Amino acid sequence: MRTVTKHVGQRVALHQRGDVMLKQQTKKRLWIYFLFTLVAVVVFSAIRTWMCLNRLNLTQELFYPNDMLTKGMHWGIGVVTALLCTVGFAPKNTFETLFMLDDADSLVDSVNNGFFSIFANAVSGCLLCGAGILTVPRLSETVQAHLTNQFGGVQHVFTILLCISTIPAALYFFCKAAMRRPSKNLLTLFGLGVVLWHISLIISTYFDISVAINSPIKILDQFSFMFTMVYFLNECREHIGTPRPRFHLAIAFPALFLSAVSAIPNLITQLYNPEHQLSVPIIYCAVQLAFCLHIIADLIGRLQSVSNDVPQIVAGAE
The series of mean pLDDT values per 10 residues for the chain, 318 residues long, is: 49 47 71 93 95 85 82 93 84 53 46 77 94 81 58 74 92 86 83 94 84 85 95 90 84 96 94 82 93 93 61 39
pLDDT of residue 290: 96
* Inter-helix orientation angle 216-239/68-85, to 10°: 10
pLDDT of residue 3: 54
Query: Which residues does 127 contact at the CB level (< 8 Å), separation at least 6?
Result: 283, 286, 287, 290
Q: Counting every residue, how long is the chain?
A: 318
C-alpha–C-alpha distance, residues 228 and 231, integer Å:
5
The helix, strand and coil proportions of the chain, stated in percent and rounded to the nearest 5, come to 75, 0, 20
Q: Which SS3 state, helix, strand or coil, does residue 57 take?
A: strand
pLDDT of residue 168: 94
Residue 209 contacts residue 149 (beta carbons within 8 Å): yes
Q: How far is CA 273 from the centre of its chain?
A: 28
